[in-house]
């Protein structure tokens, strides 16, 4: 299949290890944040979201952490699996304006 | 949620020609968005398309180059006009069900190669 991001930063992790993907967002007024996963040949898919009144939110195998002081967002994936290999984007939204996407990180899961 | 279908999924076009990309949603939505994703890049918003009004373009994008139609609440088209190799990208349609308060849904994208 096609490669979405040939020159993106890459994070390589061993299968079964935990992954941490980081994102610095730009607008201190942003109040809603999403992590998207994009596999080759597909559009971005929702993983997890968090609002600015929270600093942590957990889903199934994923956790998002928000640090508004330094405008930093992270995505933690527990027990990383081969199916987690993809490009991950953070996106921020400011009170109903359009989403602004971060640069993306390619996650590569090693057997 | 929303299911979004884009056509075509990919195309190879000659420079100087135009391509119209279609986006069909399975439910009525107020806001539809068109993004461009250049090779190795993130998503950049081209314009917001609202039914019954002209599209709102982001800085760096103009209507003459990327005309958009939004004839009803479930459909939109994006045309890439007078194409050059620099227009080679993935073009993505997105919908927002609640005005930015929840996730935006994406189509699978249209991979355009201009030769």
Angle (CA) B99-A42-B48 rounded to 5° is 30
Residue with tokens 């081209």: B46
A50-59: burial string, b at 16+ Cβ within 10 Å, e else: bebeeeeeee
Q: What is the pLDDT of residue B96?
A: 81
Pairwise CB contact (< 8 Å): B103 & A8: no
**Smallest Cβ distance to A96: which of B92, B99, B107?**
B99
Interface test with A, best of B99, B103, B104, B105 (most A CBs within 10 A): B103
Pairwise CB contact (< 8 Å): B100 & A104: no
Pick from A39-43, A52-56, A62-66: least confident: A39-43
* pLDDT at A39 > cutoff 90: yes
> What percent of chain B shows pLDDT beyond 90?
79
pLDDT tens profile B18-51: 999 999 999 998 889 999 999 888 999 999 998 8
Q: What is the pLDDT of residue B6?
A: 97
* pLDDT at B4 > cutoff 50: yes
The answer to whether residue B74 neighbours chain A at the CB level (below 8 Å) is: no
Interface test with B, best of A30, A43, A48, A96 (most B CBs within 10 A): A43
Pairwise CB contact (< 8 Å): A32 & B100: yes
Beta carbons of A107 and A8 less than 8 angstroms apart: no
pLDDT tens profile B71-91: 999 999 999 999 999 999 999
The answer to whether residue B107 neighbours chain A at the CB level (below 8 Å) is: yes
β pairing state of A62-67 and A56-58: antiparallel
* pLDDT at A5 > cutoff 50: no
Q: What is the pLDDT of residue A107?
A: 97
Residues A73-82 have a mean pLDDT of: 97
Q: What is the pLDDT of residue B101?
A: 64
Q: What is the pLDDT of residue A97?
A: 72
**Smallest Cβ distance to A103: which of B42, B45, B103?**
B42
Distance CA B110, CA B21 (A): 7
Distance CA B74, CA B91 (A): 18
Q: What is the pLDDT of residue A3?
A: 36
* pLDDT at A2 > cutoff 60: no
Residues A17-40 have a mean pLDDT of: 93
Q: How would you classify residue A71: left for phi > 0, otherwise alpha for psi between -120 and 50, otherwise beta? A: left
Residues A21-50 have a mean pLDDT of: 93
Residue with tokens 């990180």: A105
The answer to whether residue A7 neighbours chain B at the CB level (below 8 Å) is: yes
Mean pLDDT, chain B, whole residue set: 92
**Smallest Cβ distance to A98: which of B48, B92, B107?**
B48
Residues A84-90 have a mean pLDDT of: 96
Q: Smallest CA–CA separation between A48 and chain B, in Å?
A: 9
The answer to whether residue A48 neighbours chain B at the CB level (below 8 Å) is: no
Mean pLDDT, chain A, whole residue set: 90
Beta carbons of B16 and B8 less than 8 angstroms apart: no
Categorize the per-residue pLDDT at A1 as very low, low, confident or very high, splitting at 50, 70 and 90: very low
The answer to whether residue B90 neighbours chain A at the CB level (below 8 Å) is: yes
* pLDDT at B103 > cutoff 70: yes
Q: CB within 8 A of B4, min separation 6: which ones?
A: A43, B23, B24, B25, B26, B93, B94, B95, B105, B106, B107, B108
């Amino acid at each position: 299949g096609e490669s979405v991001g040939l020159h993106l930063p890459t994070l390589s992790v061993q299968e079964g290890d935990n992954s941490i993907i980081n994102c610095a967002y730009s607008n201190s007024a942003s109040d809603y944040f999403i992590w998207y996963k994009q596999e080759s040949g597909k559009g971005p898919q929702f993983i997890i979201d968090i609002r600015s009144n929270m600093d942590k939110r957990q889903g199934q195998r994923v956790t998002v952490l928000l640090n508004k002081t330094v405008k930093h967002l992270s995505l933690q994936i527990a027990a990383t699996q081969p199916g987690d290999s993809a490009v991950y984007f953070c996106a921020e939204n400011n009170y109903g304006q359009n989403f602004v996407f971060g640069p993306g990180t390619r996650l590569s899961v090693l057997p | 949620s929303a299911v979004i279908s884009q056509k075509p999924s990919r195309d190879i076009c000659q420079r100087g020609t135009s391509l119209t990309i279609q986006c069909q949603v399975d439910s009525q939505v107020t806001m539809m968005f068109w993004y461009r994703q250049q090779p190795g890049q993130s998503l950049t918003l081209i314009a917001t398309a609202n039914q019954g009004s002209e599209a709102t373009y982001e800085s760096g994008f103009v209507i003459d180059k990327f005309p958009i139609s939004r004839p009803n609440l479930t459909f939109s088209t994006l045309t890439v006009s007078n194409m050059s190799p620099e227009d080679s990208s993935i073009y993505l349609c997105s919908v927002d069900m609640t005005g930015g308060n929840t996730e935006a849904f994406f189509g699978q994208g249209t991979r355009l190669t201009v030769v």
